[in-house]
């Protein structure tokens, strides 16, 4: 069963996407090795090995692109086989994804995702073999040619047992040059996650919600700043700030610091067919407790 505020599915993932991408790239240090190669048109093989403090795993997979969708099969080191069908379109406005995981004993789980395009927005539905279900609706409008406002709502739960809702509102603004190239941009995201638990089988009682605000400012195509403020029940207010700076054509540095007392830095070195990211984090109060990790990506 998922935690009260964890639906088990991606929820409104496009909201605050740039802040999330920056902060997640500076998360707990780990070492990752990935390799992708195209055997021929429409067929690709990939491999990945990940080392972290808590667990390590490796996987190798193949994907086949067809006119009806993409077929994938991945073998994980723990003996699990993951298969999926992505991008299947029975109708021009309907997209279906199916993922199934198998272990030697049989079926371990699966997820079915549907996406329906409507004149007023995008609707998505999720269901897994554990009985979890969720639905999502995203709509928006453009006040001007260089700005837009997005509104999303996500509801989830196990029928009659537990569930909740999340809403998000995001305003975006872009500054373009005369050639319509991006010069600068900004985004402000407000989100509220409210878990619910069934009180008597028919009535739902709301719990204290989690509130957050995220601000992202792209100062130029090379530099950016981000900040988030989140209020969690029983925890209080947590602040995180960070940014990205391009040092040269092939070198970029990222950093973040939060009121939890953790400072994280990442140095990204990119070439034509490879990239290396070196990540480190230390505590700014008490013992430093340094952590280090690296991510290496190669392509033929």
Work out the pLDDT band at 54, boundaries 50, 70, 90.
low
144-157 pLDDT, tens digit per residue, is 989 999 999 998 88
Q: What is the mean pLDDT of residues 161-188?
A: 88
User: Of residues 85 and 201, which shows the higher confidence score?
Assistant: 85
How far from 87 is each of 42, 46, 91, 137, 174, CA to CA, in Å?
Answer: 14, 19, 11, 19, 30
Above 50 in pLDDT, residue 128?
yes
Residue 296, burial from CB neighbour count under 10 angstroms (0-12, 13-18, 19+): middle
Pick from 12-16, 101-105, 201-205: least confident = 201-205
For residue range 212-239, list pLDDT tens digits in order: 999 999 998 889 999 999 988 777 899 9
pLDDT at 6 over 90: no
Please, are residues 196 and 207 in contact by the beta-carbon 8 Å criterion?
yes
Q: Which residue, 210, 259, 201, 243, is CA-closest to 21?
A: 243
Give the confidence band of 122 by pLDDT, cuts at 50, 70, 90. Answer: very high
Architecture of domain 17-298: Beta Barrel (2.40)
Instruction: Kindly state the average pLDDT of the residues 162-179.
Output: 88
The predicted-structure confidence for 267-295, as pLDDT tens digits, reads as follows 999 888 788 888 999 998 888 888 888 88
pLDDT for the residue numbered 206:
58
Distance CA 98, CA 207 (A): 32
> What pLDDT shows up at residue 205?
57
The answer, yes or no, to whether residue 112 has pLDDT greater than 90, is yes
Give the mean model confidence (pLDDT) for residues 35-56.
79
pTM confidence score: 0.80
Who wins on pLDDT, 95 or 68?
A: 95
Provide the 3-class DSSP secondary structure of residue 10. coil
Cα-atom radius of gyration of the chain, to the nearest Å?
21
Sequence-ordered strand ranges (E) for the chain: 31-40, 43-51, 56-66, 69-76, 80-91, 94-103, 106-118, 121-128, 133-144, 147-158, 162-176, 182-198, 204-206, 210-218, 223-232, 236-248, 251-258, 262-270, 274-283, 291-298
For residues 159-176, give the mean pLDDT.
86
50 pLDDT band, cuts 50/70/90, is confident
- Which phi and psi angles does 21 have, rounded to 5°? -65, -40
Which residues partner with 141 through β-bridges?
149
Question: Looking at residue 28, what is its pLDDT?
Answer: 63
Given a cut of 90, is residue 55 above it in pLDDT? no
Which positions ≥6 away from 159 have C-beta within 8 Å? Answer: 131, 133
Q: Tell whether the model's pLDDT for residue 25 goes beyond 70.
A: yes
Condensed to tens digits (0 to 9), the pLDDT of residues 181-200 reads 888 999 999 999 887 765 55
pLDDT at 77 (0 to 100): 80
The pLDDT of residue 159 is above 80: no
Q: Provide the percentage of residues in the chain whose pLDDT is more than 90.
A: 41
Residue 291: how many other CB atoms lie within 10 Å: 17
Q: Which residue has the tokens 């109060």?
A: 285
Q: What is the pLDDT of residue 1?
A: 32
pLDDT of residue 123: 94
């Amino acid at each position: 069963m998922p935690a009260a505020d964890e639906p088990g599915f991606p929820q409104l993932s496009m909201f605050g996407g740039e802040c999330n991408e920056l902060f997640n790239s500076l998360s707990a240090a780990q070492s990752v090795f990935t390799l992708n190669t195209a055997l021929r048109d429409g067929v690709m093989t990939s491999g990945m090995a990940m080392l972290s403090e808590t667990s390590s795993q490796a996987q190798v997979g193949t994907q086949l692109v067809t006119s009806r969708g993409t077929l994938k099969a991945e073998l994980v080191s723990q003996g699990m086989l993951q298969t999926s069908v992505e991008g299947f379109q029975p109708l021009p406005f309907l997209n279906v994804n199916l993922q199934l995981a198998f272990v030697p004993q049989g079926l371990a789980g699966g997820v079915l995702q549907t996406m329906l395009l409507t004149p007023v927005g995008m609707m998505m539905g999720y269901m897994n073999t554990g009985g979890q279900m969720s639905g999502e609706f995203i709509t928006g409008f453009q006040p001007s040619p260089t700005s837009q406002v997005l509104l999303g709502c996500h509801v989830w739960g196990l029928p009659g047992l537990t569930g909740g809702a999340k809403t998000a509102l995001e305003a975006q603004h872009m500054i373009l040059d005369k050639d319509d190239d991006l010069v600068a941009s900004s985004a402000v995201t407000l989100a509220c996650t409210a878990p619910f638990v069934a009180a008597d089988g028919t009535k739902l009682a709301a719990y204290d919600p989690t509130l957050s605000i995220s601000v992202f400012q792209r100062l130029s195509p090379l530099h950016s700043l981000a900040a988030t403020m989140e209020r969690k029940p029983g925890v209080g207010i947590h602040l995180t700030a960070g940014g990205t700076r391009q040092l040269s054509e092939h070198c970029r540095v990222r950093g973040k610091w939060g009121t939890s007392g953790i400072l994280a830095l990442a140095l990204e070195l990119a070439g034509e067919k490879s990239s290396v990211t070196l990540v480190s984090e230390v505590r700014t109060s008490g013992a430093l407790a340094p952590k280090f990790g690296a991510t290496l990506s190669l392509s033929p």
